[in-house]
């Protein structure tokens, strides 16, 4: 293992992680990127970035031409997770994300990010099925709606906020139905994805399980 703690490999590595909201895929993606010396992209932030750009410049959220232009101009290196995680940005992003022209514009950028050395970890809803169908490793991370709602509730409470568990659970179930039922790029596991159910796992256990899958794929690729 190199001195920086990353794992040695002979070629660029691409890891695709999909799953529903609050399944733990984002935290897992960041841990894996650090472990293997890869770049990381939370693709959900790209839609929020477009929405934030429109709001900041006083542009309408219902003009597809303007939204597509903002999507193609988006700088993926300037995405601020803290700012883009605000509730208001999420509400705006939900309006932008349904525009047919916005998704392919962002997918182009996401694919370019994935193709840039030294490799990348992308997480989202359609990475293994649409954005990076030829990824070296595909993970589909799930957890029960109740577990995910509890995680989200604890996160809000730990941050000093207040939230109603029942409302969070209802929102997660609505998002699941919307994401899995949409006509364009629905949330579903790729045929060759590894299912990782984190309902009974802490992040360290999930991380170690994911590392075993990645290491096995790397060993197979290197002919070990």
139 close to 14: Cβ distance less than 8 angstroms: no
Tokens of 71: 């999507």
Asked which of 176-185, 190-199, 201-210 is least confident by mean pLDDT, the reply is 176-185
The H or E element spanning position 50 is helix 43-56
Q: What is the pLDDT of residue 25?
A: 95
Q: How far is CA 89 from CA 92, 93, 108, in A?
A: 5, 6, 22
**pLDDT tens by residue, 68-127:** 999 999 999 999 999 999 888 988 998 998 899 999 999 999 999 999 999 999 999 999
The answer on pLDDT for 5 being more than 50 is no
Percent of the chain with pLDDT over 70: 94
Q: Would the pLDDT of 8 be above 50?
A: no
Q: What is the pTM of this model?
A: 0.91
Mean pLDDT across 11-24: 93
Q: Are strands 39-42 and 194-197 parallel, antiparallel or unpaired?
A: unpaired
Cα 119 off chain centre by: 16
In tens, the pLDDT along 27-60 reads 999 999 999 999 999 999 999 999 999 999 999 9
Mean pLDDT, the chain, integer: 92
Q: What is the DSSP letter of 197?
A: E
Mean pLDDT for the stretch of residues 152-175: 92
Query: What letter does residue 201 receive in the DSSP assignment?
Result: -
pLDDT at 223: 59
pLDDT at 2: 43
Q: Are 37 and 146 in contact (CB under 8 A)?
A: no
Higher local confidence (pLDDT), 10 or 204: 204
For 51-136, where are the E strands, in sequence order? 119-124
pLDDT at 190 over 50: yes
């Amino acid at each position: 293992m190199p001195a920086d703690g990353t794992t040695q490999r002979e070629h660029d590595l691409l890891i695709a992680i999909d799953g529903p909201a609050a399944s733990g895929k984002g935290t897992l993606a960041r841990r894996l990127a650090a472990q293997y010396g890869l770049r990381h992209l939370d693709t959900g932030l790209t839609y929020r970035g477009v929405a934030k750009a429109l709001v900041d410049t006083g542009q309408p959220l219902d003009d597809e031409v303007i939204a597509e232009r903002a999507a193609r101009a988006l700088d993926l290196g300037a995405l601020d997770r803290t700012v883009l995680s605000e509730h208001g940005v999420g509400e705006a992003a939900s309006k932008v994300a349904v525009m047919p022209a916005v998704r392919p514009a962002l997918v182009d950028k996401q694919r370019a990010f994935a193709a840039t050395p030294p490799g990348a970890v992308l997480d989202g809803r359609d990475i293994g099925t649409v954005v990076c169908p030829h990824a070296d490793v595909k993970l589909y991370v799930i957890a029960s709606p109740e577990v995910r709602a509890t995680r989200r509730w604890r996160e809000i409470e730990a941050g000093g906020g207040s939230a109603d568990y029942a409302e969070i659970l209802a929102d997660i179930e609505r998002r699941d139905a919307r994401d899995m039922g949409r006509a364009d790029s629905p949330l579903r596991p790729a045929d060759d994805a590894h299912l990782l159910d984190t309902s009974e796992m802490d992040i360290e256990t999930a991380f170690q399980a994911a590392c075993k899958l990645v290491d096995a794929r790397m060993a197979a690729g290197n002919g070990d």
